[in-house]
């Protein structure tokens, strides 16, 4: 039986670049999930009888939301719903399933790297048939529908056993509970030289992977330990927990410090890596060196043909605007296309679908390629292992040789988290008002060459995305970028990106924060960070 339930709209159901993210108690309000899911379905056309992929990162409220969505998908006429066993399915694995099985689309339940628990974060995101995040025209339509929704459809069917593999029925719709790891692991094995990596591990190369009690745990266990032969325990914190073990599933030098310390210790592993809540971000650490996401993208691009899935070379490279320019020089030397986009993986989707680029990366620990339409944490880790195995060098040696050839981009991101929204908006508004007067001025002895509010003109569909970040460029190639991030659920996060290019090999061993000290001070002079935020220092430095 299908019921049509009367409802009233909520005013805050506007999806951002990463879908709708709110605290769990917000999603637990009557009809809140139902309203948003129905708004998704009402924004789409032609899905009757088609397949929908569904899964999440295992955070609190994941299973409950899945049961609601199953009943609503059945009521709205989907022919089949594929859901990861236990409700588990990483974001890149969801993208792969959509593409491999030619599904109409997919719903991902996650708040990415944000904390989980009864009073923490939850999220819902819709991915389109290409496997990537829904474009703005769809997310805008979802929001418009959510503002006036008056009813939703739901089927009166019993709960589906999410832990039992196989197919069942929810009304007229088939529900398939599938192994969330198998198809993804097979994809990785097709892209990378598992034999070479396995031989390196058997030869004594030691790896440590921290899944942070998030979604990549089962994937790392299967791929690193079972398929590549790494010792039991290589994948630690591998069991997904609703609250991520009380920790923040964000793979950076603050939240994954224990892993970093282990690799840096004399007796620690040769290589360490971590991934986030939904599996799309990565941190990679070599003995004696933390590898920035910007350098990681550039080095993967420079060594791409060492992996069997990329033997024929790459079509091009794309990076988000705040990401350092390290990949630019690699693309130039390779003679391939290069694109600078706003932050948000959906901007890479058009370039990937058009065949203009093969590799993409964001400074926020996200790297990926045309194998799916999301960034992919474990993919990046396996690419690094493939490069290390093929070159027979340590991660540090590979990075230092890359700097010697291309120069080093000293780069850091300073995050001021949970800033009062009004204060953050005031800082940005004041900064925008200064842009025209900045070029030609001197700040801390450095001359400003240009300043703007980045706008992106999509070379595929012609769309224009404005106000994507404020850039202040100095003579000599240094720059500071200011952005407000939409990935949190409380207040605003001000991100300040600081970059200096150093071509001199003799100056490649400086401490990053010392190398950037004058630019960091200049950023505060230009934007008045301390006076606007009331903060003496960032919440996180990466």
Cβ atoms of residues 77 and 40 within 8 Å? no
Contact (Cβ atoms closer than 8 angstroms) between residue 94 and residue 127: yes
CA distance linking residue 318 with residue 489, whole number of Å: 28
DSSP assignment of 100-162: HTT-SEEEEE--TTS--STTSEEEEEEE-TTSSBPPHHHHHHHHHHHTT--EEEEE--PPP-T
Distance of CA 55 to the CA centre of its chain: 17
Q: Could you give the CA distance from residue 94 to residue 108 in angstroms, rounded to a whole number?
A: 7
Tell me, yes or no, if 112 is annotated catalytic. yes
Of 278, 299, 194, 253, give the one whose Cα is nearest residue 542. Answer: 253
Burial of 150 (0-12, 13-18, 19+ CB in 10 A): exposed
Query: Of the candidates 239, 240, 358, which has an alpha carbon nearest to the alpha carbon of residue 297?
Result: 358
Candidate list 39, 112, 275, 478, residue with the active-site label: 112
Beta-carbon count within 10 A of 23 CB: 17
Rounded distance, CA 481 to CA 484, Å?
A: 10
CB neighbour class for 228 (10 Å; exposed up to 12, middle 13-18, buried from 19): buried
Strand partners, 410: 500
Round to whole Å and give the CA distance between 379 and 389.
15
Q: Which of 476, 467, 470, 422 is nearest to 447 (CA)?
A: 476
* Residue indicated by tokens 């994507």: 468
Nearest to 142 by CA among 50, 70, 38, 53: 38
Q: Catalytic amino acids?
A: 112
């Amino acid at each position: 039986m299908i019921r049509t339930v009367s409802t009233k709209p909520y005013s805050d159901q506007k999806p951002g670049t990463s879908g709708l993210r709110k605290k769990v108690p917000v999603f637990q309000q009557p009809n809140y999930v139902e309203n948003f899911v129905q708004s998704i379905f009402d924004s789409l056309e032609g899905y009757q009888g088609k397949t929908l992929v569904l899964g999440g990162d295992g955070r609190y409220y994941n299973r409950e939301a899945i049961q609601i969505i199953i009943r609503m998908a059945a009521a709205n006429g989907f022919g089949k719903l594929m859901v990861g066993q236990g409700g588990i399915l990483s974001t890149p694995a969801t993208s792969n399933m959509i593409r491999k099985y030619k599904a109409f689309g997919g719903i991902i339940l996650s708040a990415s790297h944000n904390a989980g628990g009864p009073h923490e974060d939850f999220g819902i995101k819709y991915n389109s048939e290409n496997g990537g995040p829904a474009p703005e025209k769809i997310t805008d339509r979802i929001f418009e529908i959510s503002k006036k929704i008056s009813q939703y459809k739901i089927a009166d069917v019993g709960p589906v056993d999410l832990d039992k593999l196989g197919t069942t029925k929810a009304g007229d719709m088939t529900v398939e509970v599938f192994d969330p790891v198998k198809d993804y692991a097979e994809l990785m094995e097709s892209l990378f030289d598992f034999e070479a990596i396995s031989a390196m591990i058997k030869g004594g190369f030691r790896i440590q992977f921290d899944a942070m009690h998030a979604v990549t745990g089962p994937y790392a266990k299967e791929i690193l330990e079972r398929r590549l032969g790494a010792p039991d325990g290589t994948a630690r914190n591998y069991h997904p927990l609703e609250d991520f073990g009380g920790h923040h599933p964000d793979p950076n030098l603050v939240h994954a410090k224990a892993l970093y310390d282990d690799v840096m210790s004399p007796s620690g592993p040769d290589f360490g890596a971590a991934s986030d809540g939904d599996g799309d971000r990565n941190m990679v650490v070599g003995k004696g060196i933390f590898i920035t996401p910007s350098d990681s993208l550039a080095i993967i691009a420079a060594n791409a043909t060492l992996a069997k899935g990329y033997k024929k070379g790459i079509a091009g490279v794309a990076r988000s605007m705040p990401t350092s320019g390290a990949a630019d020089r690699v693309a130039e030397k390779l003679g391939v296309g290069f694109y600078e986009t706003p932050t948000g993986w959906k901007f890479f989707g058009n370039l990937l679908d058009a065949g203009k680029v093969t590799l993409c990366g964001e400074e926020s620990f996200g790297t990926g390629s045309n194998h799916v339409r999301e960034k992919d944490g474990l993919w990046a880790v396996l690419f690094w292992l493939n490069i290390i195995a093929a070159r027979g060098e340590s991660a540090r040696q590979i990075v230092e040789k890359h700097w010697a050839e291309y120069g080093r981009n000293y780069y850091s991101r300073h995050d001021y988290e949970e800033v009062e929204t009004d204060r953050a908006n005031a800082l940005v508004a004041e900064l925008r008002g200064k842009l025209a007067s900045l070029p030609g001025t001197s700040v801390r002895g450095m001359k400003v060459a240009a300043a703007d509010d980045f706008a992106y003109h999509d070379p595929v569909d012609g769309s224009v995305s404005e106000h994507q970040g404020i850039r202040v460029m100095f003579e000599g190639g240094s720059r500071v970028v200011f952005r407000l991030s939409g990935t949190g659920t409380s207040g605003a996060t001000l991100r300040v990106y600081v970059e200096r290019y150093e071509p001199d090999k003799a100056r490649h061993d400086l401490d990053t924060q010392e190398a950037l000290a004058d630019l960091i001070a200049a950023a505060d002079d230009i934007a008045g960070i301390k006076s606007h935020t009331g903060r003496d220092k960032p919440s996180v430095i990466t």
